[in-house]
Structure 1
Amino acid sequence: MKYTDIAIIGGGLAGSTAAVMLGRAGVPAVLVDPHRAYPPDFRIEKLGGHEQIARLQSTGLADAVLRRATHDGVNWIARYGVLLDKPPSLQFGIMYDDLVNTIRAEIPDQVETIVAKAASISASADRQRITLSNGERISARLAVIANGLNVGLRHALGIERKIVSRCHSVSIGFDLVPLGRAAFPFPALTYFSERPADRIPYITLFPIGSRMRANLFVYREADDPWLRELRRAPVETLNAALPRLKRLTGAFGVAGEIKIRPADLQVNSGYRRPGIVLVGDAFRTTCPVTGTGSDKVFTDVERLCNVHIPAWLATEGMDEAKMAAFYDDPVKTACDAWSEAKAYNFRKVSIDNGLHWRAQRLARFSMWFAKGQKRRLGNAFRRPRGLTARQAHPAE
């Protein structure tokens, strides 16, 4: 039997981040994951925005992660083939496996990583006993369940998963390449749907290294023939759905594999139990369209590792009341509620044809256009005498 304070089950974004934070704080911990190096996986491919980067910074991992990511600097905003604005951007592109493996490289040596699966767990208010697929056993004061969508362990504990919105959205990832020229004219581009009937909220183009990565989001069923057609003829299908996109991109091709991932919105019941705590997607899933998945992960792990685990370890036992302090943490619950509301709101504002949502769309794009006009006027007034707009502001 291996004894430790914290056993972390799952070494994706949540589990690996927790392992780093606990190890740096000197808390005895063991990380259990079936992969020595995290394999390619189509999940988060971009971090961005002041709030999200601030949440990453709260984990102490921002420097390591952002050094490996590609910062675009400026993100063009467009719809109907019309450029609305070119705001400064705090977006960083990084493939999910690179993100997780970069974080894993920061795990201190005193945190042991065991390459195996957690086969079973026996939970109590004292110690948690975990049996691994390789026959090893772990006794821990607390088990952190961070194994994402794998439900077997949770079901064995009596935790039930409920799908509250099946196939809420579908994420599609691929590389876009310019045809007939060396590069696209923009550092990054977010292009919004031209028609609600196409069921596309937006496509975002952003660099990862020398590649221009595309993340396309749609509100369709997982077996929709449109998705099969996109795989078969991606350029033609994109041009039919977003006919004026090429005014900004020029002629383009699609390179490499097209990844498609449907996303259900899922919640759990019966998770308030002694000795175990669920974080990230293991607790509650998010809609990738909103980009809030990493916000929830970083918030969960920061609150757990910086606030609750140190307090729990200071006294005996791991009863249900201690776990409740994490689940009821006001910072965590606010982030969860914000992410959930955004998932439903974004879908409505993208595809609902009700009067309210049509007005919301109009207001949204009018606001971006006004911001763009204000930015262009400001740049014109700041332009040194004798210089053209291109000479004064080459990034634009």
Structure 2
Amino acid sequence: MRYTDIAIVGGGLAGATAAAMLGRADIPAILIDPHRAYPPDFRVEKLSGGVQVERFRRTGLAEAVLPKTSLDGANWIARFGYLLDKVPSQQFGMLYDDLVNTIRAEIPDSVDRVWAKAVAIATSPDRQTVSLSDGSAISARLVVLANGLNVGLRQTLGIRRQVVSDCHSISIGFNMVPVGRASFAFPAMTYFSERPSDRIPYISLFPVGGRMRANLFTYRAIDDPWLRELRHAPAATLRAALPRLARLTGAFEIDGELKVRPADLTVNEGYRQPGIVLVGDAFQTTCPVTGTGTDKVFTDVERLCNVHIPAWLASDGMDEAKIAAYYDDPVKQACDAWAWAKAHHFRSVSIDHGLYWALQRWARFFNWSARGMLRRIGRQMDTKFDDHSSSSSSSSSSSLSSSA
């Protein structure tokens, strides 16, 4: 039996981030995961600037991780084959397994790693016992369940998963390569659907290393024949679905294997128990189309490790009343509600019929167009001002030389 304050079950994005944060705070912890190096997995492939990166910075890990990603610098916004805007951007591209392993490298040596599978958890208001596949066990004051979509342990604890929206969306990842030229003209691009009937909200193109990575999203059933066509002839199927995309990308092909991930929207019941907390997808899933899953992970882990765990460890016991403070945290609840609402709204605005949703789609189109126009006018005015200043400076220099 090993003893610790915190046992973290699952070494993905949530678990690795929690282990690194607790280790840096000198809180005794053990990370439990079957894999010494996180294996290839199709999940998060980029971090967006602004609020998402700010949430990452609150974990204290961003400064070590972000320099190892691919920064785009600008993102083209397009629809119907037309470029609407060139938005200054800070999207950080990195494949999910590389991201997790990079964060794992930031875990201090003070955090023990156990490369085994957690097969059972026994909880109490005082200490918890995690039984492992190698026959050993860990006694901890608190168990952080960060094992994502694996429901086995939750079921043994009486935590029930409820599927709210089955196959809410499907994410498809692949590499796109230009034909007849060395690179694409754009640093990154978000291209929105041309027709609601295609059931494609958008495709996102962004750099990862020396490749242009594509994340294509669709609202379809997992047995939809269109997915089989995409697997069989990916470039041709994509061109048929988004026929005007090539106006901006030029000729392209799809290189390598397609990664396909269906996503259900799920919630849990019965999770308010002594001695255990759920973070990330283990608590509640969201839709990858909205890009909010990473926001939820960083918010969950940051609030848990920076606020609640230090407070809980300051006194004896780990009863349900203590655990409730995490689930009732207003910052966490606000992030959960925002991500949940966005998952439903984005689907409706992408594919739902009716005048209201049609107007919503056109409003977005004209909003992007107006922003792009104002940005172009601003750049032209800046250019004219710079040219005028340069001309005035040259005239002044010339006058001074004549006077001398």
Q: TM-score range by the shorter chain?
A: over 0.9
Corresponding position of 1:98: 98
Task: Give the alignment partner of residue 387 of structure 2, picking from 385, 390, 396.
Answer: 385
Corresponding position of 2:232: 232
1:356, CA displacement in angstroms? 1.0
Correspondence list, 1:329-340, <5 A: 329-340=329-340
Q: Please say which of residues 301-310 and 64-73 is displaced more in the overlay.
A: 64-73
Encode CA deviations 1:3-61: one digit per residue, 9 max, x unaligned. Answer: 00000000000000000000000100000000000000000001003000000000001
Encode CA deviations 1:44-99: one digit per residue, 9 max, x unaligned. Answer: 00100300000000000111211111000000000000000001001010000010
Corresponding position of 1:118: 118
Corresponding position of 1:393: none
Encode CA deviations 1:166-221: one digit per residue, 9 max, x unaligned. Answer: 00000000000000001000000000000000000000000001000000000000
Question: Which stretches of structure 1, 4 residues or longer, exceed 2 Å deviation after superposition?
Answer: none
SS of 2:387 mapped into structure 1: coil
Whether contact under 8 Å (2:196, 2:351) holds in the other structure is: yes
Q: TM-score, normalised by structure 1?
A: 0.97
Correspondence list, 1:221-300, <5 A: 221-300=221-300
Encode CA deviations 1:296-329: one digit per residue, 9 max, x unaligned. Answer: 0000000000000000000110000111100010
SS of 1:41 mapped into structure 2: coil
Corresponding position of 2:218: 218
Please say if 1:58 is aligned against 2:51: no
Corresponding position of 1:139: 139
1:136, CA displacement in angstroms? 1.0
Corresponding position of 1:3: 3
SS of 1:297 mapped into structure 2: helix
Corresponding position of 1:68: 68
Cα distance in 2, alignment partners of residues 178 and 63 from structure 1: 33
Cα distance in 2, alignment partners of residues 67 and 98 from structure 1: 13
Encode CA deviations 1:115-138: one digit per residue, 9 max, x unaligned. Answer: 000011100000001110001110
Corresponding position of 1:27: 27
Size of the aligned set, in residue pairs, is 387
Corresponding position of 2:174: 174
1:355, CA displacement in angstroms? 1.1
Stretches of structure 1 that go unaligned for 5 or more consecutive residues are 387-396
Correspondence list, 1:318-329, <5 A: 318-329=318-329
Encode CA deviations 1:312-362: one digit per residue, 9 max, x unaligned. Answer: 000110000111100010000000000000000000000012111111111
Q: What amino acid is the match of 1:281?
A: D
Cα distance in 1, alignment partners of residues 326 and 354 from structure 2: 39
Cα distance in 2, alignment partners of residues 127 and 173 from structure 1: 42
Corresponding position of 1:206: 206
Encode CA deviations 1:263-304: one digit per residue, 9 max, x unaligned. Answer: 000110000000000000000001000000000000000000
SS of 1:385 mapped into structure 2: helix
Please say if 1:354 is aligned against 2:354: yes
Q: What amino acid is the match of 1:168?
A: H
Whether contact under 8 Å (2:49, 2:92) holds in the other structure is: no
Corresponding position of 2:165: 165
Stretches of structure 2 that go unaligned for 5 or more consecutive residues are 389-404
Q: TM-score, normalised by structure 2?
A: 0.95
Corresponding position of 1:391: none
Cα distance in 2, alignment partners of residues 138 and 385 from structure 1: 69
Q: Which of the two has higher C-alpha Rg?
A: 2
The percent identity for this pair of structures is: 71
Whether contact under 8 Å (2:200, 2:219) holds in the other structure is: yes
SS of 1:76 mapped into structure 2: strand
Please say if 1:44 is aligned against 2:44: yes
Cα distance in 2, alignment partners of residues 65 and 18 from structure 1: 15
Corresponding position of 1:16: 16
Corresponding position of 1:314: 314
Whether contact under 8 Å (2:173, 2:213) holds in the other structure is: yes
Structural RMSD (CA): 0.9
SS of 1:267 mapped into structure 2: strand
Cα distance in 2, alignment partners of residues 353 and 91 from structure 1: 32
